[in-house]
Amino acid sequence: MSWDSAIYSGQVVHRRHRPKAHRLSYRVFALYLDLDALPCLSEHMWFFSYNRAGVFSFHDTDHGDGTRGGLRRWVNTQIEKAGFDAKTMRVGLLCYPRIFGYVFNPLSVYFCTDQQGDVRLILYEVCNTFGERHTYVIPAENLSAKGIRHACDKALYVSPFLSMNCRYNFRILPPTEDVLVAINETEENAPVLHASFAGRRQDLTDKALLGLLFSHPLMTLKITGAIHLEAVRLWLKKVPFHRHVPSPHRVTQSLVKSDRKADPHESY
């Protein structure tokens, strides 16, 4: 029983271009969750829970403004600020679930669709390891065979090996049988990092989750471990270090104009 929610299993890839080349890839899975279906999913599934403990779980407090039970309300506020009618929008969230109570989501993506099922607005929710969160709210226009293209200036400190003088260039293929979230990050107008997640859909069922528990054991803990391991490797390569620039508030968001400047360095 899925209520349009699903699992996407695939590969995360990072390629750093400069000042030292560096690459990593690992297999992960993400859940695509219809926010309005979360209570039903929790009620009808053994291994998935909503706002309570479980083998796999989703908690509102991990997203948005961190209010328990208030995530859809927070998303609705962002939808209205962007000039859309929240009452007519469905919202699906692509993110990692908690596994045995633990999760860290570097990037969660909200797809806001109209009554025809077309993506009208995307929220890119970025978290760092300092407990800070910033969401870029960007209207979606001109979907093509190559997906939705967005760009925005970096507003939240994320990595000690990237300065704040960066710009994100997104390419998104919304969830269908496949999903793609690709980011080409530039620093001082030159390519510095490519990051992507490409996944294949499967139904969200207890059987599928049980299989993932064995094929991806403690995945969310491994993600955090991999972040710190790669930081050590970059430090050993003598990649320049940038001190933490604190966010003015723990949770922030910005509405980005929908017109997108072309990225001359795009190759993804």
Question: Across residues 74-86, what is the average pLDDT?
Answer: 97
Question: Across residues 15-33, what is the average pLDDT?
Answer: 91
Strand 166-173 and strand 90-95: pairing?
A: unpaired
DSSP 265: T
Question: Across residues 60-75, what is the average pLDDT?
Answer: 94
Task: Encode pLDDT of 86-98 as tens digits.
Answer: 999 999 999 999 9
Domain extent at residue 185: 6-255
Domain count, the chain: 1
> Quick count: other Cβ atoms within 10 Å of Cβ 160?
17
> Quick count: other Cβ atoms within 10 Å of Cβ 107?
19
Amino acid at 169: N
pLDDT level of residue 1 (50, 70, 90 thresholds): very low
For residue 267 the two structure tokens come to 């190759």
* Residue of 66, 68, 70, 72 lying closest to 33 (CA atoms): 72
Q: What's residue 3's pLDDT?
A: 47
Is 112 in contact with 172 (CB distance < 8 Å)?
A: no
Task: Encode pLDDT of 164-206 as tens digits.
Answer: 999 999 999 999 999 999 999 999 889 999 999 999 999 999 9
pLDDT level of residue 261 (50, 70, 90 thresholds): low
Is residue 268 included in any domain, yes or no? no
Q: What's residue 206's pLDDT?
A: 97
Is residue 49 included in any domain, yes or no? yes
| pTM for the model | 0.93
Q: What's residue 158's pLDDT?
A: 95
Q: What's residue 247's pLDDT?
A: 94
pLDDT at residue 264 tops 70: no
Is residue 261 included in any domain, yes or no? no
Is residue 267 included in any domain, yes or no? no
Q: What's residue 52's pLDDT?
A: 94
DSSP 212: H
Is residue 166 included in any domain, yes or no? yes
Mean pLDDT across the chain: 91
Q: What's residue 140's pLDDT?
A: 92
Is 84 in contact with 101 (CB distance < 8 Å)?
A: no
pLDDT at residue 37 tops 80: yes
Is residue 260 included in any domain, yes or no? no
Q: What's residue 217's pLDDT?
A: 86
| 125 or 237, which is more confident | 125
Its sign, for the CA torsion 109, 113, 118, 122, is negative
Is residue 1 included in any domain, yes or no? no
Is 200 in contact with 9 (CB distance < 8 Å)?
A: yes
Is residue 102 included in any domain, yes or no? yes
Is 37 in contact with 4 (CB distance < 8 Å)?
A: yes
